[in-house]
Chain A
Amino acid sequence: MASIKINNLGKVYAGDVRAVEDINLDIADGEFIVLVGPSGCGKSTLLRMIAGLETITEGDLFIGDKRVNGLEPAERDIAMVFQNYALYPHMTVYNNLAYGLKNRGFPKDEIEKRVQETAKMLEIEQFLDRKPRALSGGQRQRVAMGRALVREPAAFLLDEPLSNLDAKLRVQMRLEIKQLQRRLKTTSLYVTHDQLEAMTLGDRLVVLNQGNIEQVGSPIDVYNRPESLFVAEFIGSPSMNLFSQADLDGPTNENAAKHLPEGTDILGLRPDQLLFEAPDTPHIRLDCKVALYEPAGAESHLYLILNSNGQHVTMRVHGEPPVHEGGDISIYAPVSAVHPFNSTSGRRTD
C-alpha cells in the first residue's frame, strides 16, 4: 500500500496531441479516487501513465516515496483492471491469477494459497480450471479483479471495469468493488463515465475536462457545490438547468438578481430544486409550457419549455404533478438554491 503523488503531470502524444495537462493530485494511502470526465478528456491516459503503460512527458509521479517516472510497469507494484478484462485466453482462470506471482518468483505453495484465497473472496473457486472463454461477462470481470487482487499491490488502477456489463450486474459489482476496497484499504484509482459510479464509489471525485482537473472533492461536495459551469453540467443526472440572467425578466426575477453575488450572469438550478409553488424568500420565477411528462416510477421527469427564450427545462417531481402536456405553468426556486456562475470565466461567483 502506498500514497500516490502527481506533480505537474502532462502527456503529449506523438503529433503534438495534448492529452493531459499539468495535473496535480495527492492521493492518500488507502484512498479511493474516482476519475470522471467526458470521452477523450484524458482519463485513460492519466491512468496509463500511472501504470507505466504510457511514458510521462512532463512532471513527476511518486508512488510511496519513490519517483517512478522511468520505471517499468512491473516495477511500480500496481495492478490494473482493463475495460475488456484482458484475460489470457489460453490459460485457465487459475493460471491467469497465478501468472503475475509466478513471474515474481513466488514459491509454489504460496501461489496456491493466494490464488485459492482470492478465488474464494471473489466466489470464482468453481471456475479455476476453466478457460476465460467458458465464463460469462460477470465471471470474467471477477477473474480480472482477482488477477489484480492476488498480487496485493500498492495500488489498483481500474479503467471503466464495469462498462461491459449489463445494468443489473453493474450495480452488483459496483457494490462489491466498494466493499472490497473498504476491506482491503488499497489505494485505488477508478475511471468511469457513469454518473452513479462516480457519485457512489469514491472517497474523492476528480472531474477532468480536456486534460485538466476541473474540480476535486468528495462526491457530495462536488454535487452540491460545482466550482465551474463544466462540472455543473457534467455531474448530476438529469443535468443542471442553466439560465442566462438576461432571459429571466419580470419584477420577481429582477428582485432576485439583487440577492445574487456580483458578476453572476448564469444561474444554475438542479431539476429537483424547482418547485410548483413560490417560496416566501426571494425567488426565481420561470414561466413555461409543458412539453412532456415522463413518469419513471418513484420520481418523474417533467420537460418544460421556457417562454422567454424557448430553452428546455428539466424538472424532477415526486408523484403526479398538477399539469397536462401543452399547458402553461409557472415554476419557482429560492435564490438560496441557485448556483451562480460567470459565463466569461466559467467559474462560480459565490
Chain B
Amino acid sequence: MQTKKMTFNHRWLPYLLLAPQVIITIIFFIWPASQALYQSLLRQDAFGFRTTFVWFDNFQRLFVDDLYVNSLKVTLIFAVGTTLLSMSVALLFAVMVNKMIRSRDAYTTFLVWPYAVAPAIAGVLWWFIFNPSIGILPYALDMFGINWNHRSNGDQAMLLVIIAAAWKQISYNFLFFLAGLQSVPHSLIEAAAIDGAGRVKRFWTIVFPLLSPITFFLMVVNVVYAMFDTFGVIHATTEGGPAQATNILVYKVYRDGFVGMNLGSSAAQSVILMAIVVVLTVIQFRFIERRVNY
C-alpha cells in the first residue's frame, strides 16, 4: 500500500491537531494504567495508614490464592460458554434469515435490537426472568419438576450469567455471520449440490469453512467481550455468587478493590487482565493480517 505524505506549512500544526487524541489517551488510559501498575507493587495495611513497596508480592500471592484460581476457572468456563452459545445461536439465526427472501430485512432488524440494550438493563431483565420467587422461567421449569434457584445453585447461576451475557452478543455475531453467508457465491452451493452433497453436508463442507475468517474474528471478539465487558451483567444478576460461582476476573477486581479495599491485590489483578487483553489483541491482528484459510 502506498502511504500518503502530507506536508504542513506550520511546524506545530500537526502536534496541535494530534493533541486532543493524545491528551484523552493519557488521561483515560496511560495515567490509570500506570497507576494500576504502580499500585500493584504496593501494599496498604488494613486501616490504610501505611503503604509499603512490596515488589511482585501481590502477584505471587494471587496464584496461590484459591479464590483467585477459582476465579480464573470460572472466567474460563464463562468465556467459553458465552462465546459458544452466542456464536452458535447467531449462526443458526443467520442461516435461517439468509434463506428468507421477502422478510429478511425485518428479521434482521429484530435480531439486532438486543445489541442496543445496555448490559445493566439486560442484566435486570434476566434477573426478573430468572428470579426464583417471581420469575417466569423458574415457574415454568417447576412444572417439569426442575427446581431453579440460582441463588443457591452455582451451576444454575453460571448458566444464568452465560445466557444473559450471550444474549446481547448474538446480535453482533448474527450481523457478521449474515454478511458472511451472503458473500458465499451461490454457484459454489450449486456446484456442491450437483456434486452430490445434501443440505447439511453443503453447509459443513462448503459454507462453514468459507466462514472461518469471520468465525475466528468473532471468537476473539466474544472472548474479549465475555472477559471484560460483562461486569454489568454479573453485577445486575448474581453479583459473583453464590459462593464465588460466577465471580469472574473483572468482577473480582471490583469486589476486591472497591468492596474489600484490597487495592494492591486488585491492581495486580487488573494488570494481569491488561496483559490478557494485549495478548488477545495481538492474536487477532496477526490472524486478520494473515486471513485464515484461503
For residue A51, which residues in chain B have a CB less than 8 angstroms away from its CB? 190, 194
Which residues on the B side are within 8 Å of A100 (C-beta)? 194-196
For A72, A73, A78, the residue with the greatest tally of chain B CB atoms inside 10 Å of its CB is A73
Bound Cα distance A51, B205 (Å): 21
A122 to B197 Cα, complex, angstroms: 25
Q: What are some 21 contacts across the A-B interface (CB < 8 A)?
A: A52-B193, A53-B190, A53-B193, A53-B194, A73-B194, A74-B195, A74-B197, A80-B191, A80-B194, A82-B187, A82-B191, A86-B185, A86-B188, A86-B190, A89-B210, A89-B294, A99-B195, A100-B194, A103-B201, A147-B191, A147-B195
Report chain A residues within 8 Å CB of B195: 74, 99-100, 103, 147, 151
Residue of A at shortest CB range from B209?
A90
| Bound-state Cα–Cα, A99 to B201, Å | 11
With a cutoff of 8 Å between Cβ atoms, the chain A residues found around residue B198 in the complex are: 74
Is A185 located at the chain interface by the 8 A CB criterion? no
Report the separation of the CA atoms of residues A118 and B85 in the bound assembly, to the nearest whole angstrom: 44
Q: Mark B102-120, 1 if CB is under 8 A from A, else 0.
A: 0000000000000000000
Given A90-B209, A103-B197, A104-B196, 18 other A-B residues pairs in contact with their CB atoms under 8 A: A51-B190, A52-B193, A52-B194, A53-B193, A73-B193, A74-B193, A74-B198, A80-B191, A84-B187, A86-B185, A86-B187, A88-B188, A88-B206, A89-B188, A90-B294, A99-B197, A100-B195, A103-B201
Q: How far is the CA of A115 from the CA of B162 in the complex (A)?
A: 48
Give the number of residues in B that approach A within 8 Å (Cβ atoms): 20
Contact partner, A74, options B196, B205, B206, B212, Cβ 8 Å? B196
B194 touches A78 (CB 8 A): yes
Alpha-carbon separation in the docked complex, A104 to B198 (Å): 11
Residues of B within 8 Å of A74, CB to CB, are 193-198
Contact A88 B196 (CB under 8 A): no
Cα distance A147–B191 in the bound complex, in angstroms: 10
Q: Which residues of A contact B205 (CB under 8 A)?
A: 99
B293 at the interface (CB under 8 A from A): yes
Residues in B neighbouring A93, C-beta threshold 8 A: none
**What residues on B are CB-neighbors of A104 within 8 Å?**
196
B192 at the interface (CB under 8 A from A): yes
CB of A113 within 8 A of chain B? Answer: no
The answer to the question of A133 belonging to the interface, with a C-beta cut-off of 8 Å to chain B, is yes
Q: Mark A133-156, 1 if CB is under 8 A from B, else 0.
A: 100000000000001000100000
What is the CA–CA distance of A52 and B195 in the complex, to the nearest angstrom? 12
Chain A hits for B197, CB < 8 A: 74, 99, 103
Q: How far is the CB of B201 from chain A (nearest CB, A)?
A: 7
- A-B contacts counted at CB < 8 A amount to 61
Chain A, 82-101, contact with B by CB distance < 8 Å: what is the 0/1 string?
10101011100000000110
Q: Which residues of A contact B192 (CB under 8 A)?
A: 88, 99
Are A86 and B294 in touch, CB under 8 angstroms? no
Instruction: Give CA–CA (A78, B201) in the complex, Å.
Output: 19
A215-272 residues at the B interface, CB under 8 angstroms? none
A contacts, CB < 8 Å to B: 51-53, 72-74, 78-80, 82, 84, 86, 88-90, 99-100, 103-104, 131, 133, 147, 151
Bound complex: CA A48 to CA B37 (Å): 66
In the bound complex, CA of A297 to CA of B188 (Å) = 43
B194 interface neighbour in A79, A90, A131, Cβ under 8 Å? A79
Smallest CB separation, B43 vs chain A (Å): 54
Asked if residues A90 and B293 are in contact (CB atoms below 8 Å), the reply is: yes
| Centre residue among B185, B187, B191, B212 by max chain A CB count within 10 A | B191
Q: Which residues of B contact A89 (CB under 8 A)?
A: 188, 210, 294
- The CA-CA distance from A52 to B197 in the complex, in Å, is 14
Contact with A along B267-294 (1 / 0, CB 8 A): 0000000000000000000000000011
- Cβ of B185: which chain A residues have Cβ within 8 Å of it? 84, 86
Considering the complex, give the chain A residue whose CB is closest to the CB of B212. A90
Asked, given contacts A131-B294, A133-B294, whether A90 binds B191 with beta carbons under 8 Å apart, the answer is: no
Complex-state Cα separation, A147 to B275, whole angstroms: 49
**A147 CA / B193 CA spacing, docked (Å):** 13
Shortest beta-carbon distance, B264 to chain A, in Å?
Answer: 50
Measured in the bound complex, the distance between the Cα atoms of B225 and A219 in whole Å is 66
Shortest distance between the CB of A274 and any CB in chain B (Å): 45
Q: How far is the CB of B180 from chain A (nearest CB, A)?
A: 13
- Nearest chain A CB to B266's CB is how many angstroms away? 46
Q: When chains A and B are docked, how far (Å) is the Cα of A281 from the Cα of B193? A: 61
Interface contact B193-A86, CB-CB below 8 Å: no
Q: Tell me the smallest distance from the CB of B45 to a CB of chain A, in Å.
A: 61
Distance A347 CA – B97 CA, assembled complex (angstroms): 51
Q: Shortest Cβ distance from B10 into chain A, in angstroms? A: 47
Contacts of A80 in B (CB 8 A): 190-191, 194
| Residues of chain B lying within 8 A (CB to CB) of residue A88 | 188, 191-192, 206
Question: Complex Cα distance A179/B192, Å?
Answer: 27
Distance to closest chain A CB from B207 (angstroms): 10
- Which 8 residue pairs spanning A and B have beta carbons closest together? A100-B195, A103-B196, A86-B187, A74-B196, A86-B191, A73-B194, A90-B209, A73-B193
List of B residues within 8 angstroms of A53 by Cβ: 190, 193-194
Chain B residues 197-234 with CB under 8 Å of chain A are: 197-198, 201, 205-206, 209-210, 212
A53 to B187, CA, bound (A): 10
Least Cβ–Cβ distance between B21 and chain A, in angstroms:
39
Please, which residues of chain A bring their CB within 8 A of the CB of B188? 86, 88-89
